[in-house]
């Protein structure tokens, strides 16, 4: 009984020592993690600053590209190319551009302005042509309606004319003819009168 009481405190002391060792180990891990977290947080600030700087550079470069104008359709051939090859090609282009050193900047601006105005004039010309075609269609439709109206009016006039002439000259006959001159596009009325004598 006495031995059992003695062994239990040793057992608990051993367990307590094990727990303290685990506690120390966990504390060491926590300190290590805190140190890592501190370094990560510190580096994160640097990375955030680098990312913000990179975004600014991207925006500046994008603005420069917009100022240059639209990208050529064959730009994909330069993607993935080595920077040395790109610099070499850039040098070649710059050498070729030296031939244009004497070009007056004002003349280049005037040429660009003329090209812009030409594009506007071409657009206006196309709009005028479309309007002209619409006007021709309207005129053609109006002429067709006018011809129909003249024909209807002539038929009414002809019936009335024949009836009146028959009352005035019962033995005679008269007929209206409608002729349209092709050159002047004028409508001319002719009257044919014939007399019928009864035997």
Residue 91 located in a structural domain = no
Residue 57 located in a structural domain = yes
pLDDT tens column, 134-164:
899 999 888 888 888 888 888 888 888 888 8
**169: how many CB neighbours lie within 10 A of its CB?**
13
Residue 48 located in a structural domain = yes
Residue 59 located in a structural domain = yes
Task: Give the count of domains, the chain.
Answer: 1
Residue 70 located in a structural domain = no
Domain range for residue 2? Answer: 1-65
d(CA 177, CA 154): 9
pLDDT tens column, 11-36:
777 777 877 788 778 888 887 877 77
Residue 13 located in a structural domain = yes
Residue 32 located in a structural domain = yes
């Amino acid at each position: 009984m006495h031995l059992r009481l003695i062994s239990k405190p040793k057992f608990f002391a051993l367990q307590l020592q094990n727990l303290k060792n685990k506690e120390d180990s966990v504390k060491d891990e926590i300190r290590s993690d805190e140190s890592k977290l501190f370094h990560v947080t510190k580096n994160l600030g640097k990375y955030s600053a680098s990312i913000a700087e990179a975004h600014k550079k991207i925006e500046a470069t994008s603005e420069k590209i917009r100022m240059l104008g639209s990208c050529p359709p064959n730009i994909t051939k330069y993607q993935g190319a080595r920077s040395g090859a790109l610099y070499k090609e850039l040098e070649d282009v710059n050498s070729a551009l030296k031939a244009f050193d004497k070009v007056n900047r004002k003349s280049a601006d005037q040429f660009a302005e003329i090209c812009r105005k030409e594009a506007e004039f071409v657009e206006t010309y196309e709009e005028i042509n479309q309007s002209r075609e619409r006007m021709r269609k309207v005129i053609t439709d109006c002429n067709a309606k006018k011809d129909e109206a003249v024909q209807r009016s002539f038929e009414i006039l002809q019936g009335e004319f024949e009836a009146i002439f028959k009352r005035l000259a019962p033995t005679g006959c008269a007929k209206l003819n409608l002729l349209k001159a092709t050159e002047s596009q004028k409508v001319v009325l002719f009257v044919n009168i014939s007399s019928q004598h009864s035997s």
